[in-house]
Amino acid sequence: MARIEKRVVTKQKPLIGGLPFAKINYQILSAGILSIILGYVALGQDPWDGTMPLVVAPLLLVLGYCILIPIGILFRKNTSSEVLAPTADISAENSH
C-alpha cells in the first residue's frame, strides 16, 4: 500500500492594518509624478528665459515634490466604524 503523507498547513498571520495604500493614494502619487514630468518638460522649453521655464516649471515641480507626493504617502481615509462608534455610544446613553 502507498503511504499517505500528511501535509502541515501553516497559518498565515493576518495583516493587522491591511494594505498601506488604497486606490486614492496611488491616484495622488500618479498625479504627483505626472506633475513632476510636466515640470521637467516645461523646464526644457525654448526660449530659456521665457515664462514656461522660469515660472510654470518651478511651480509644477514644487507641486509634485512638496505637495502631491507627501499627501499621496500620508493620506489615510477615515473608516466609517471609527467615526460612527462614539456617536452610537452617546445616543445609547441618552436614551436611558
- Asked if residue 12 is part of any domain, the answer here is no
Considering the domain boundaries, does residue 31 fall inside one?
Answer: yes
Report pTM.
0.64
Residue 30 domain boundaries: 23-76
> Before 70, cis peptide (omega within 30)?
no
Structurally, how many domains does the chain consist of?
A: 1
Question: Would you say residue 18 lies in a domain?
Answer: no
pLDDT score, position 73: 95
The alpha carbon of residue 42 and the mean position of all alpha carbons in its chain are separated, in whole angstroms, by 26
Each residue's pLDDT tens digit, 14-56? 656 677 899 999 999 999 999 999 999 999 999 999 999 999 9
The whole-number pLDDT of residue 80 equals 59
